[in-house]
Amino acid sequence: KLEAIIFDLDGVITDTAEYHYLAWKGLAAELGIPFTREDNERLKGVSRLASLEIILELGNKQMAFTEEEKEHLAKKKNIQYMELIKRITPADILPGIKPFIKEIKEAGIKVGLASASKNAPAVLKGLDLLDEFDYMADANLIANGKPDPEIFLNAALNLKVNPENCIGVEDAKAGVQAIKRARMFAVGVGSMDQLGEADIVYASTSELSFKKIIEIFSK
C-alpha cells in the first residue's frame, strides 16, 4: 500500500542544473580547467565535494589542492550558486509537478524530499513549495551520497513509513539506484538508457501521471 512519494529536487521539481553549471564554470575558469555543459551532466545528483573532484580530475588537478583548499573552492562555488538561485520563482517549477503533488496530497499520501543539495530549503522557498512537504531530508546529516540509499531511507524513516510502501522520483542514474537499493518503487524522469533500472521512466515531468504510477505500483 502506497504511503509516500519522495522526490529528488534538482532535475525533478526544478531545473537548477544550469545554475550549478554556471557556478562551477566560473570556478573552473579561475583554475584554468575547461568545463562544458556536457561535463556538467556528470555532476547531476552528485554532492558538492564529489562534483569538485570530478572537475579537478577534468583538469588533472586532483593532487594540486589540500582538503582544506578544496573546502574553500567548494565554498566559493556555493557562494556563486546561492547568488544565482535568488532568481528562482514559482514559474521555475517544472511542468506537471504542481498538479502531480496536488493529486498525491488529495489521495492522502505523504510527500517527502530526498535531495543531495544543501541548498534545497532555499530553492523550495523560491519556488514557494516549502509547505507542500511533510519531510525534507537534510543533506547535511547524510553521510553517504546517492547511489547509497541512505537519503531515501532517512526520508522514509522521518515520514514514519515503510520504504517498501514508497515511490521515489529521480532524474539521475545514481538517484534511481539509490531508490532501488532502498527497496522503493522508482520513477525515472529522463532518458531510458540512463534510467533503465527504474520501474517506470517518463521522458519529462509533464508526463507524470499519478493514476498510471499507482496502477503499476499496486500490481
Residue 44 labelled as part of a binding site: yes
DSSP string, the chain: ---EEEE--BTTTB--HHHHHHHHHHHHHHTT----HHHHHTTTT--HHHHHHHHHHHTT-GGGS-HHHHHHHHHHHHHHHHHHGGG--GGGBPTTHHHHHHHHHHTT-EEEE--S-TTHHHHHHHHT-GGG-SEE--GGG-SS-TTSTHHHHHHHHHHT--GGGEEEEESSHHHHHHHHHTT-EEEEES-HHHHTTSSEEESSGGG--HHHHHHHHH-
What is the Cβ-side half-sphere exposure of residue 147, based on CA atoms within 13 angstroms?
12
Instruction: Between 31 and 106, name the residue whose CB sits nearer to ligand B16.
Output: 31
Question: Which window, 42-50, 69-77, 125-133, 188-196, contacts Mg ion (CB under 5 A)?
Answer: 42-50
Q: Is 180 a binder of ligand B16 (CB under 6 A)?
A: no
And the C-alpha cell for 201? 521512466
Q: Please, which of residues 61-80 interact with ligand B16 by CB under 6 A?
A: 78
Could you identify the residue written with the cell 544550469? 18
Q: Is 47 a binder of ligand B16 (CB under 6 A)?
A: yes
Q: Is 48 a binder of ligand B16 (CB under 6 A)?
A: yes
43 binds, among Mg ion, ligand B16, none (CB under 5 to 8 A by kind): ligand B16
Catalytic machinery residues = 8, 10
CB of 8 to Mg ion, least distance (A): 4
Question: Which window, 71-79, 84-92, 95-103, 169-177, contacts Mg ion (CB under 5 A)?
Answer: 169-177
Instruction: Between 150 and 171, name the residue whose CB sits nearer to Mg ion.
Output: 171
Instruction: Between 43 and 127, name the residue whose CB sits nearer to ligand B16.
Output: 43
How many residues sit close enough to ligand B16 to count as binding (CB under 6 A)? 20
Q: Is 118 a binder of ligand B16 (CB under 6 A)?
A: yes
179 binds, among Mg ion, ligand B16, none (CB under 5 to 8 A by kind): none
CB of 77 to ligand B16, least distance (A): 8
Instruction: Between 45 and 112, name the residue whose CB sits nearer to ligand B16.
Output: 45
